[in-house]
């Protein structure tokens, strides 16, 4: 299991490993006898495994305090046992913090019942933890376990070291009926001894994304949790959460609380981590009582949401469950001698197939448990049914839960146009908000798309007033957990929300479910009205205005305290719904509205601290909310629902305006009714909310509510502590009074005489003269074009001057250089040609930009020795060889370019692997200098790419193995990166297929990126790229461009410093990009620690872009970002322009280095002492704090040049190297002959065949190899088996495989079949893992047995036969053919735009499992289709000996009518799908499904 864990910089200190077992009484009794004590009374003895301080004095104090607490509880301490360990095997970093490890034995004589004994021990542990908070030894005492049933041995150790470190684990007397083993790879907290797992109940592989909200809600519950089992001692077991511990530790303590209060473990986990039960075809029909259970608890416990494989035990039951999305692998098998194994991988324990009686996997939301006393095994539905039948949940729900009935929208405006305008001005609307956001949502029902990036100043740096929401940036998932795909996998998501009091969760009863349920959080005026009338909710309206009659100072703060007190009082008087409202009949000039986000946050935090938050829900009735980001902010800080009354009024006004009526009448705009316009607006808010939740990997609005998934840029401590407590605000900023002033500056517009008669355009989205400053503006691009086209230094100086005089735009504009050295002559500084080698251009895909631009940039970078980036979408092999046919700057090879020279190469040195895997073939990978894994994109982190259909020309479609004219969407997550260990695996795969290429991982700046970067460095990446939020994009929703991601200055600083603190900085090159424009930016990034520098938008500008900002329309006026031939002909750029630009930038860097007195970049990289705050006064505040950027934790041990020139990180010795060094194999590859080999394989042999494939691809390309490499493997294959295969490779595996079989394969054949005479039925067993055939572009796969989740996701051309598959199979497929001879999971063929699937449906359950958005379902009626199906099954039987396949062929006429064929529109007219194919010439006939 070692490869699934993380290791510190010493390659020896594990991030953690541990084991939980039953208490080994024989071992402890033996020790007791040696000590002269009698045997322990097993029923009445508790055993504690304790980490104590290393320091002797502190340890004695701690032991004394522990003794005192046990004594006052009436427990007798029988003795302390120092746990025998071998400290010599511990790694360097782990040894520094290694605790003193002891076991304490205590006797509880007053209790007889096991549960009461465990409760008594729990109370003792809680009291000890409470004592520790104020003691000197407090941070160094930790109970791994204190129980009468279980014990945990753990530490910061590697897998194999655990058993060598603890001598007990080597002792033959140590016996246990179960064991839970965990190996940790930490990415959201730094490794520490107590954070190793298992915890006290759970081993958790995953990430809880909603942790901040879960902690808040657990804190609010503290006053209301009561249960008779505690005999009135509830006060002593608080608190229930600890914000300093890891997410796993907090989930563990929540589960522990429920279990100790009398729930059984299965029930506790169903409650905390519920499955996606809504619209679940099987549950709804067969197990309605399970649905009732989930419905009952839905409004009482917010799910702990995120990827998770949880193994749990209380000593009586042991079990495992998986999160609702199935985002971690879990395979299980049961043997003939009645042992059940569950593990993240198969092959971790040597077991013969003949002894295995059952092989399965946990699917999304599934659970398996074993009762240790009776030895019974319960699979998923049995477990849940037993739990759900404990109480009459269905009856309680139907009698007490009330649904809010939908109310029709208003059909006319409430206010006249002048009043509406006044309101919009007062509440901060601009004409862009109304036209580009509200009106486009009302007319189209979706969020507007835009392009380029966010190049206006952060709200706090801007000279213009911003709404409070603009200071918040959405957080997003990267690496440690995946974003969810709201488009294709929306079935696990829900926007439902419950209003009303949340009862005491420790007691069950009908009153707990007396709540109102809303289908989504957007209310119209009528729905709000009916909530106000609900007799149970007793709603109370709290107006949110503050008075400035006595001046602004302190006015806002005073009013907020009053508001909180009013809320307090309302709740104490029984109000279960608080409506915070800024609605009033008349606006008063001296009473501006409090920013509603501030009001909601303040009331929410205040009620949490007073223990009242559970008694009530908060609803915002506000004018200050119209965009998806604003809804998300309000919900994230505590609102359950929002009535956006002014936005709805704006929709009505727009629909009734003469302009709109005329446009609709003339057919210039689709006709919508006034109700439809408002429906559309609400619909687009809903889908926007889904997208925002999904970026962070959160599925449920109920867990997002109050989860604070934001970071703050530009608000000071007083505001944050008051209303947004727990959110990160690293640069400080506005005070409450400054915020009040900003609010007022909007408010006064509604009252001044000279206010315009129409809304102002602030220019926040589109550049306009007199509007907000944009970093990329027409003047800047003109100056730059002049400098590079005329090759004029003076023109470049004018450009530099323009940048130097710009308003403060980014954080680095607040900093300047300072040096204690005398300037030196420029001649002594390193030459420009060596500086430009550190430059790279951004990952712009061919498709988003034209061939001309893409190739011109690549040629320029290759001339300079810098690096260009292919972006997502492959690369034409014609670009890989140097040009030799250039005459007068033109070459017949690339006839559309000018300004060429012989020797130019148009290849991109960095080739990108993105989530759609478009164009990623073995040859593409084998021909790269560097391979970049794009985890996120600066302009829209947490989202997939999108290429509009009209940009997919025949050329683009050929490179991407897709269909011309069909839009291409990349999934938000890489389906083979759901966790840090998965990323480490993909890095391993890429090093495997091309051992000469460095692998880079592209991240986007956000708080917490430092620990992520450390995880990536431990995962063996060579380069980490940090992108700022201001990067460009070809097409993206407006709210994503504006409201996600952070500045690179903070991301780079955090990554650089965390890597140094962890001793990992030397392992990786740090590259940074986002809004770079000049040498000043380069030097700034260098001082903050970056080795290499990326230029995106500015490189496009230098080659001709004029910033028209219409990339997403395919109408670029200069052919930079268009695929239209006639526009591409206008492309003005030549490679020389870009070469000139980069040389000027390098010269500027040289000049600045000389000025500072340094000879080379190496000498300034990471030297933050060269930076100091610049004396500049900002409009809004003087309270920004840049100390974080200016701080320094030390320098790397090597210079930047040494780090950049180190060898590519290796995968170490691998099986492929052994095979490649075999003379027969080498001969077959060199001389295209045939070779046959048989080899044993184990789960540690990962990405096997990848390196062989890379060698063949480098030599022969994707299709040129005429030999045959036939390899047979026996055993359990590690992850990514047979990845990136090329034609001519025939691979057979006898045994089983893990995740990602056949990933990216381009040809050849893979056969997986169990060993001879297995003890289980192969067609019922899972023998390959999740996400097989991801991004495959050819070849065939035959599996005798079932596959896991997401089978054949993004398959382009491969053919496969498998005997069953999990959820989401054939997702995003664009070609090829998949045959499933058995059952499949939910959501089949989501986003499938090409290729065919044939699925056998013996019990008629398939139809509800298919995602019908795109594909058509029909019987196999076309003779060609019947032949295709039969031929594939025949091949399957021949290669695997499948009994299921043989039976189907034998009874062909019976089985054929049971197959369904899934046909996307692009395949409807093919001979395989169309029965009357021969007769129709026009191909217009579409057949009805049978």
Tens digits of residue pLDDT in 176-209: 999 999 998 877 667 889 999 999 999 999 889 9
Residue 462 has pLDDT above 70, yes or no: yes
pLDDT at 36: 94
Task: Tell me how far apart the alpha carbons of residues 966 and 806 are, in angstroms, rounded to a whole number.
Answer: 43
Residue 224 has pLDDT above 90, yes or no: no
Q: Which of 935, 950, 958, 877 lies closest to 1356 in space, CA to CA?
A: 958
Are the CB atoms for 825 and 866 separated by under 8 Å?
A: no
Q: Which of 1107, 1143, 1118, 1074 lies closest to 787 in space, CA to CA?
A: 1143
Q: Give me the percent of the chain exceeding a pLDDT of 70.
A: 99
Task: Tell me how far apart the alpha carbons of residues 663 and 84 are, in angstroms, rounded to a whole number.
Answer: 83
Task: Tell me how far apart the alpha carbons of residues 1446 and 1045 are, in angstroms, rounded to a whole number.
Answer: 55
Q: Kindly give the residue spans of alpha helices, DSSP state H, lying in 472-547.
A: 525-533
Query: What would the pLDDT profile of 102-116 be if each residue is shown by its tens digit?
Result: 999 999 999 899 999
Task: Tell me how far apart the alpha carbons of residues 370 and 380 are, in angstroms, rounded to a whole number.
Answer: 11
pLDDT at 1477: 65
Query: What would the pLDDT profile of 115-173 be if each residue is shown by its tens digit?
Result: 999 999 999 999 999 999 999 998 899 999 999 999 999 999 998 899 999 999 999 99
Residue 1483 has pLDDT above 60, yes or no: no
Phi-psi region of 641 (alpha: psi -120 to 50; beta: other; left: phi over 0): beta
More reliable by pLDDT, 201 or 1481: 201
Residue 472 has pLDDT above 80, yes or no: yes
DSSP character at residue 435: I
Q: Which of 542, 535, 531, 606 lies closest to 570 in space, CA to CA?
A: 542
Q: Which structure tokens are listed for 236?
A: 């002593």
Are the CB atoms for 537 and 499 separated by under 8 Å?
A: yes
pLDDT confidence band for 1035 (50 / 70 / 90): confident
Cross-strand pairs, 21: 151, 179
Query: What would the pLDDT profile of 1064-1078 be if each residue is shown by its tens digit?
Result: 999 999 999 999 999
Q: Which stretches of 727-876 are assigned E, i.e. beta strand?
A: 733-734, 815-817, 839-843, 867-869
Q: Specify the 3-state DSSP secondary structure of 87.
A: helix
Cα atoms in the 13 Å half-sphere on the side-chain side of 1176 = 21
Q: Are strands 1069-1073 and 1092-1095 parallel, antiparallel or unpaired?
A: parallel
Are the CB atoms for 994 and 1218 separated by under 8 Å?
A: no
Q: What is the pTM of this model?
A: 0.95
Residue carrying the six token digits 């683009």? 956
pLDDT at 48: 97
862's enclosing H/E stretch is helix 851-864
Q: Which of 385, 445, 940 lies closest to 682 in space, CA to CA?
A: 445
Q: CA 1149 → CA 633, 713, 1124, 1143, 1155, distances in Å? A: 41, 29, 38, 10, 10
Q: Which stretches of 576-635 are assigned E, i.e. beta strand?
A: 577-581, 617-621
Buried b (16+ CB within 10 A) or exposed e, 1074-1100: bbbbbbbbbbbbbbbbbbbbbbbbbbb
Residue 1 has pLDDT above 80, yes or no: no
Mean pLDDT of the chain: 93
Task: Tell me how far apart the alpha carbons of residues 136 and 53 are, in angstroms, rounded to a whole number.
Answer: 10
Q: Specify the 3-state DSSP secondary structure of 577.
A: strand
pLDDT average, residue stretch 31-41: 95
Q: Which of 877, 911, 910 lies closest to 894 in space, CA to CA?
A: 877
Q: Which of 602, 603, 641, 601 lies closest to 622 in space, CA to CA?
A: 641
pLDDT at 1490: 30
DSSP character at residue 732: B
Residue 823 has pLDDT above 90, yes or no: yes
Query: What would the pLDDT profile of 1160-1215 be if each residue is shown by its tens digit?
Result: 999 999 999 999 999 998 999 999 999 999 999 999 999 999 999 999 999 999 99
Q: CA 1457 → CA 983, 989, 1138, 1431, distances in Å? A: 43, 41, 62, 16
Are the CB atoms for 1107 and 452 separated by under 8 Å?
A: yes
Task: Tell me how far apart the alpha carbons of residues 384 and 233 are, in angstroms, rounded to a whole number.
Answer: 31
Residue carrying the six token digits 């004590």? 37
pLDDT at 1482: 42
Q: CA 309 → CA 251, 330, 367, 1280, 1348, distances in Å? A: 12, 7, 10, 20, 15
Query: What would the pLDDT profile of 1206-1235 be if each residue is shown by its tens digit?
Result: 999 999 999 999 999 999 999 999 999 999
Q: Which of 1094, 845, 1085, 938 lies closest to 478 in space, CA to CA?
A: 938
Residue 1044 CB partners (closer than 8 Å, separation 6+): 473, 474, 475, 476, 695, 940, 941, 942, 1029
Q: Which stretches of 330-436 are assigned E, i.e. beta strand?
A: 331-335, 340-343, 356-361, 367-371, 376-379, 402-403
pLDDT at 371: 95
Q: Which structure tokens are listed for 1443?
A: 């009994």
Q: Are strands 710-712 and 472-474 parallel, antiparallel or unpaired?
A: antiparallel
pLDDT average, residue stretch 749-755: 81
Residue 56 has pLDDT above 60, yes or no: yes
More reliable by pLDDT, 280 or 547: 547
Q: Kindly give the residue spans of alpha helices, DSSP state H, lying in 907-1032.
A: 922-926, 954-959, 980-993, 1009-1018
Q: Specify the 3-state DSSP secondary structure of 642.
A: strand
Task: Tell me how far apart the alpha carbons of residues 1026 and 632 are, in angstroms, rounded to a whole number.
Answer: 26
Query: What would the pLDDT profile of 1110-1144 be if each residue is shown by its tens digit?
Result: 888 899 999 999 999 999 999 999 999 999 999 99
């Amino acid at each position: 299991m070692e490869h699934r864990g993380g290791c510190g910089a010493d390659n020896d200190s594990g991030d953690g490993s541990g084991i939980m077992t039953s208490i080994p009484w024989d071992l402890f009794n033996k020790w007791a006898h040696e000590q002269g004590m009698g045997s322990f009374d097993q029923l009445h003895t508790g055993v504690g495994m304790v980490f104590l301080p290393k320091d002797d004095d502190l340890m004695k104090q701690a032991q004394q305090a522990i003794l005192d607490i046990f004594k006052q509880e009436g427990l007798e301490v029988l003795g302390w046992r120092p746990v025998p360990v071998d400290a010599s095997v511990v790694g360097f970093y782990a040894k520094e913090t290694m605790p003193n490890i002891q076991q304490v034995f205590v006797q509880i004589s007053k209790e007889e019942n096991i549960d009461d004994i465990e409760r008594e021990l729990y109370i003792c542990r809680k009291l000890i933890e409470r004592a520790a908070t104020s003691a000197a030894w407090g941070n160094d005492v930790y109970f791994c376990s204190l129980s009468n049933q279980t014990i945990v041995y753990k530490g910061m150790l590697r897998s194999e070291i655990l058993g060598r470190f603890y001598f007990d684990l080597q002792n033959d007397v140590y016996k246990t009926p179960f064991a839970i083993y965990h190996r940790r790879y930490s990415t959201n907290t730094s490794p520490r001894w107590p954070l190793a797992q298992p915890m006290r109940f759970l081993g958790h592989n995953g990430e809880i994304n909603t942790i901040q909200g879960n902690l808040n809600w657990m804190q609010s519950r503290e006053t209301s949790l009561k249960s008779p089992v505690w005999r009135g001692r509830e006060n002593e077991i608080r608190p229930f959460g600890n914000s300093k511990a890891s997410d796993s530790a907090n989930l563990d303590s929540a589960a522990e609380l429920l279990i100790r209060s009398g729930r059984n473990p299965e029930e506790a986990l169903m409650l905390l981590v519920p499955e996606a039960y809504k619209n679940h075809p099987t549950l709804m029909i067969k197990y309605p009582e399970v649905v009732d259970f989930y419905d009952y608890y839905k409004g009482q416990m917010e799910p702990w949401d995120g990827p998770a494989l949880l193994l749990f035990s209380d000593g009586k039951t042991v079990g495992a469950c998986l999160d609702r999305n199935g985002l971690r692998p879990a395979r299980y098998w049961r043997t003939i001698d009645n042992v059940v194994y569950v593990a993240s991988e198969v092959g971790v324990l040597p077991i013969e197939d003949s002894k295995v009686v059952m092989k399965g996997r946990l699917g999304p939301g599934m659970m398996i448990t074993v009762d240790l006393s009776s030895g019974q095994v319960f699979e998923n539905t049995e477990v849940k049914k037993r739990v759900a039948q404990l109480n009459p949940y269905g009856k309680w729900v139907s009698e007490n839960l009330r649904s809010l009935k939908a109310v029709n929208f208003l059909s006319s405006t409430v206010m006249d146009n002048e009043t509406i305008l006044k309101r919009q001005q007062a509440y901060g609307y601009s004409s862009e908000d109304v036209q580009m956001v509200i009106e486009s949502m009302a007319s189209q029902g979706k969020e507007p798309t835009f392009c380029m990036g966010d190049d206006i100043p952060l709200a706090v740096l801007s000279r213009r007033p911003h709404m409070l929401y603009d200071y918040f940036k959405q957080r997003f998932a990267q690496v440690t957990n995946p974003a969810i795909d709201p488009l294709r996998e929306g079935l696990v998501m829900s926007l439902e929300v419950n209003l009303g009091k949340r009862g005491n969760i420790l007691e069950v009863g009908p009153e707990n479910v007396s709540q109102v349920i809303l289908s989504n959080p957007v209310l119209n005026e009528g729905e709000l009205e009916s909530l106000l009338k609900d007799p149970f909710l007793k709603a109370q309206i709290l107006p949110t205005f503050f008075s400035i009659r006595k001046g602004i100072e302190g006015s806002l703060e005073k009013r907020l305290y009053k508001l909180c007190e009013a809320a307090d009082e309302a709740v104490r008087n029984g109000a279960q719904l608080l409506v915070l409202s800024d609605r009033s009949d008349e606006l008063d000039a001296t009473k501006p509205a409090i920013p509603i986000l501030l009001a909601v946050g303040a009331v929410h935090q205040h009620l949490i601290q007073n223990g009242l938050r559970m008694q009530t829900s908060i609803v915002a009735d506000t004018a200050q909310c119209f965009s998806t980001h604003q809804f998300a902010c309000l919900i994230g800080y505590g609102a359950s629902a929002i009535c956006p009354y002014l936005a709805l009024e704006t929709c009505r006004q727009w629909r009734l305006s003469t302009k709109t009526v005329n446009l609709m009448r003339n057919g210039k705009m689709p006709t919508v009714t006034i109700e439809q316009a408002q429906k559309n607006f609400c619909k687009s808010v809903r889908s926007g909310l889904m997208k925002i939740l999904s970026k962070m990997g959160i599925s449920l609005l109920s867990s997002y509510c109050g989860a604070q998934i934001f970071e703050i840029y530009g608000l000071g401590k007083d505001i944050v502590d008051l209303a947004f407590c727990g959110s990160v605000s690293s640069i400080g900023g506005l005070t409450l009074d400054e915020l009040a002033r900003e609010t007022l500056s909007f408010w006064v517009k509604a009252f001044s005489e000279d206010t315009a008669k129409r809304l102002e355009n602030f220019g926040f989205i589109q550049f306009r003269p007199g509007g907000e400053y944009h970093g990329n503006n027409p003047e800047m691009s003109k100056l730059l074009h002049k400098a590079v086209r005329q090759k004029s230094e003076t023109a470049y100086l004018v450009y530099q001057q323009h940048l130097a005089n710009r308003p403060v735009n980014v954080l680095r504009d607040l900093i300047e250089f300072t040096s204690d050295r005398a300037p030196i002559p420029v001649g002594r500084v390193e030459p420009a040609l060596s500086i430009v080698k550190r430059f790279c251009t951004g990952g712009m895909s061919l498709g988003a930009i034209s061939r001309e631009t893409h190739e011109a940039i690549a040629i320029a970078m290759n001339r300079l020795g810098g690096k260009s980036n292919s972006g997502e979408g492959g690369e034409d092999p014609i670009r890989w060889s140097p040009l030799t046919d250039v005459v007068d700057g033109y070459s017949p090879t690339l006839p559309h370019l000018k300004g060429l020279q012989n020797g130019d190469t148009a290849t991109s040195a960095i080739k990108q692997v993105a989530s759609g895997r478009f164009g990623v073939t073995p040859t593409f990978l084998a021909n790269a200098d560097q391979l970049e894994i794009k985890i996120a994109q600066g302009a829209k982190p947490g989202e997939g790419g999108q290429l509009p259909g009209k940009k997919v020309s025949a050329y683009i479609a050929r490179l991407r193995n897709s269909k011309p004219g069909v839009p291409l969407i990349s999934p938000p997550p890489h389906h083979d990166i759901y966790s840090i260990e998965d990323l480490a695996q993909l890095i391993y795969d890429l090093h495997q297929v091309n051992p000469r290429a460095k692998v880079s991982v592209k991240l986007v700046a956000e708080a917490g990126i430092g620990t992520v970067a450390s995880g990536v460095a431990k995962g063996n990446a060579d380069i980490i790229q940090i992108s700022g939020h201001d990067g460009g994009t070809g097409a993206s929703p407006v709210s994503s461009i504006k409201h996600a991601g952070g500045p690179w200055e903070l991301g780079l600083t955090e990554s650089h410093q965390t890597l140094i603190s962890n001793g990992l900085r030397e392992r990786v090159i740090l590259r940074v990009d986002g809004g770079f424009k000049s040498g000043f930016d380069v030097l700034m990034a260098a001082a903050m620690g970056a080795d290499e520098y990326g230029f995106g938008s500015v490189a496009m500008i230098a080659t001709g872009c004029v910033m028209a900002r219409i990339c997403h329309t395919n109408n670029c006026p200069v052919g930079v970002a268009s695929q239209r031939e006639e526009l591409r002909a206008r492309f003005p750029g030549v490679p020389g322009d870009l070469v000139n630009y980069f040389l000027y930038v390098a010269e500027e860097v040289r000049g600045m280095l000389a000025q500072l007195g340094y000879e080379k970049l190496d000498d300034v990289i990471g030297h933050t002492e060269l930076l100091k705050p610049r004396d500049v006064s900002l409009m809004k505040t003087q309270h920004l704090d840049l100390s974080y950027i200016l701080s320094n934790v030390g320098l790397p041990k090597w210079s930047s040049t040494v780090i950049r020139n180190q060898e590519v990180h290796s995968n170490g010795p691998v099986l492929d190297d052994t095979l490649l060094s075999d003379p027969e194999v080498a001969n077959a590859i060199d001389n295209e002959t045939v070779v046959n080999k048989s080899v044993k394989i184990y789960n540690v042999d990962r990405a096997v065949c990848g390196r062989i494939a890379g060698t063949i691809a480098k030599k022969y390309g994707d299709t040129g190899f005429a030999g045959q490499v036939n390899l047979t493997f026996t055993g359990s294959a590690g992850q990514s088996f047979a990845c990136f295969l090329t034609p001519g490779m025939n691979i057979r595996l006898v045994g089983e495989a893990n995740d990602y079989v056949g990933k990216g394969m381009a040809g050849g054949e893979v056969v997986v079949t169990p060993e001879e005479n297995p003890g289980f039925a192969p067609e019922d067993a899972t023998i390959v893992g999740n996400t097989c055939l991801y991004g495959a572009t050819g070849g065939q796969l035959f599996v005798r047995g079932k596959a896991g989740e997401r089978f054949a996701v993004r398959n382009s051309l491969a053919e496969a036969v498998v005997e069953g598959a999990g959820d989401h199979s054939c997702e995003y497929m664009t070609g090829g053919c998949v045959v499933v001879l058995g059952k499949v999971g939910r959501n089949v063929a989501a986003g499938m735009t090409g290729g065919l699937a044939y699925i056998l449906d013996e019990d008629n359950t398939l139809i509800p499992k298919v995602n019908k958005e795109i594909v058509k379902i029909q019987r196999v009626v076309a003779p060609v289709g019947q032949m295709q199906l039969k031929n594939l099954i025949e091949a399957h039987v021949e290669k695997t000996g499948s009994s299921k396949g043989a039976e189907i062929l034998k009874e062909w006429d019976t089985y054929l009518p049971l197959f369904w064929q899934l046909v996307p529109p692009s395949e409807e007219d093919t001979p395989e799908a169309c029965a009357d194919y021969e007769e129709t010439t026009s191909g217009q006939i579409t057949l009805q499904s049978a």
